[in-house]
Structure 1
């Protein structure tokens, strides 16, 4: 039987960028329904995290399901809701602003279908424009290393594929932008195999405007909470 792949995209006010991302996914589904030589079925799920623009309307023509959060609850809650609604044995999480580069999503899935990994994480190309000071990434890397012993290259990447059983065994959600770090730590603690891959995804880059620093501040706070949660209440 062809495996079902659930592609879950959390989105907040992504009316402008989301359609191009979804069009790339739909094009792959319609033209190349195989990954690593294995026929697959796909379901596409967008979680509209309390958007105030037309994100929901923009998603409807392309996806199988749109979940609408009553208010903005953060990325962690959106991913948890999407995973709970998904039916696939493999869940793929992608950011809403990947555009045409979303066509590369099968590269995340191949190692799982070949039995080489239980979770894959995309390491994106180096940013073009100057961003932050690297404090958020350092916090995530050092936190994952301290709690698991794994030196992760891209612990914050929102582009990843994971066997559904990992999410079920973890059985918990993580706050906001700490969700990727939390899922990674739990997967390692539970003994699953992690593989990081260099994949040419491209998305909107943050700069050094005040809103970008505010975004990084929210990330730092959420990841700190997640690391504390994983330290105080380890999954096993």
Structure 2
């Protein structure tokens, strides 16, 4: 038996399981999480990606039998995810935080859902699982926006607790950012490539140790998630309404100035120009997005085999 066989599916097929934990100064959290993982998945491959920690994160991970992938300096949460996915040998990848928020006992719930034919299953937090009210509101907005973009209900766009088929996930490593928005990017990439995604409600515990999220710096970064959602899925769904808004403003302002001053003003010309430019940017972005996923679609057709 392969030492990395970690989970029997309901159909009786043994799945090779790799559990990946990005960690930066998370020695306290790992002391809680790793024993739980070993108790429930003794044969799974456990990978701790030490993202330039200055504490004994790597030593704690090795002491609990985890394979440590280290970096000489911090590269970011997304970079750690990419390094862990490249190092993993399992057919199924499990991603979870090393700070104690995610309970290893919940992993079977995600795996059982994966066996229903999904390519990715995400643990969806409720309002109580958000770090604070501000982040809860921001995540609710991201969920609604992404649901509108994809046409599918997205219960938790930014959850880092998820399982995915390794073959599918690795197709999008080049798209993943090095920062904190890897969950957003991977989710939208799966939807864009017609890989089915499911959500399973999960409780989330309070983290152990200090959060690495900085409200001002990362708040601005999370605003960029909105644009990543658009550019990763369907840019015209964002740019077309914005361009239409500029056009309507220009038309309205022109009607007002024509009625009051009987002339066409520079402001109307500027608004009309902005409408055209925004629409053209969206059109170009749409073409770039299609080209980005063209290779992925080709890989999927070849892996699925010839059709009758």
Distance 1:44 1:203 in 2: 22
Distance 2:157 2:102 in 1: 23
- Superposed, 1:16-55 pairs within 5 Å as 16-30=28-42, 41-55=43-57
Segments of 4+ moved more than 4 angstroms: none
TM-score, normalising length from structure 2?
Answer: 0.64
Flag the 1:111–1:100 CA change in 2: closer, same or farther, 3 A: closer
Q: Between Structure 1 and Structure 2, whose CA radius of gyration is higher?
A: 2
Q: CA deviation at 1:137?
A: 1.0
> Secondary structure of 1:73's partner?
coil
TM-score, normalising length from structure 1?
Answer: 0.82
Alignment deviations for residues 24-77 of structure 1 (CA, whole Å, 9 cap, x no partner): 0001124xxxxxxxxxx5100000111111111111122441011121111111
Distance 1:65 1:132 in 2: 36
Q: Which residue, out of 50, 57, 74, partners 2:76?
A: 74
Matched, 1:165 2:167: yes
Q: Name the one with the larger helix percent.
A: 2
Higher relative contact order (CA 8 A, sep 6+): 1
Quote the residue 2:119 is aligned against: 118
RMSD of equivalent CA atoms: 2.8
Q: Tell me if the contact between 1:141 and 1:153 (Cα under 8 Å) persists in the aligned partners.
A: yes
Q: CA deviation at 1:126?
A: 3.4
Matched, 1:15 2:27: yes
Q: Tell me if the contact between 2:49 and 2:69 (Cα under 8 Å) persists in the aligned partners.
A: yes
Q: CA deviation at 1:17?
A: 1.2
Q: Tell me if the contact between 1:76 and 1:173 (Cα under 8 Å) persists in the aligned partners.
A: no
Matched, 1:189 2:201: no
Name stretches of at least 5 consecutive residues in structure 2 with no aligned partner: 1-12, 236-284, 294-308
